[in-house]
Structure 1
Amino acid sequence: MSWDPTGAARLNLTFDPEDLTGPQRDGDACVVCHKKWPRPRVRVGRLPDDAPVMACEECAEALLPAPPAPRRKPSARRATLP
């Protein structure tokens, strides 16, 4: 299962393998919280050798970028000059 917050394009985070434990590098533990069970299933990035980096669903949500601010609809009324 790949993680795509917008549905339009993949977010491609690259993680430094030296900062990860062996199970995190192998995809057997969450890259954020180190949880091993249930096995992390959300792909949140990659290592420099293109190996996938996995996270549990809760941590994957924490890695989401902030949602874009809602756009204001243009007003039908125009401002009047004094």
Structure 2
Amino acid sequence: MRFLRFFLFTSKAMARTSGNGGHYCLGVDEAYTKFLEDKIRELTEKNAQLRRRQLKEEREAKLQTAAEVLTENLGTLKRTLSSKF
């Protein structure tokens, strides 16, 4: 994110000093900057969604493993109790 903001800053600075005799095309640069900021926001949101999905899947996998271990322990406990009584 910081790199992209730096890139936007430097591209604006270069646009000010290059081409058209140094004239700066504010409308095009603002539109491009807005486009890039929107893209950054979109990708950030998508990354957050993917991360939440990944964490949910990890939690579900841990719960599944815990359920399997508890089932095995319960079976062992039943066998142990039935053999003693």
TM-score by length of 2: 0.29
Of structures 1 and 2, the larger Rg is shown by 2
- The structure in which a higher percent of residues are strand is 1
Higher RCO (CA < 8 A, seq sep 6+): 1
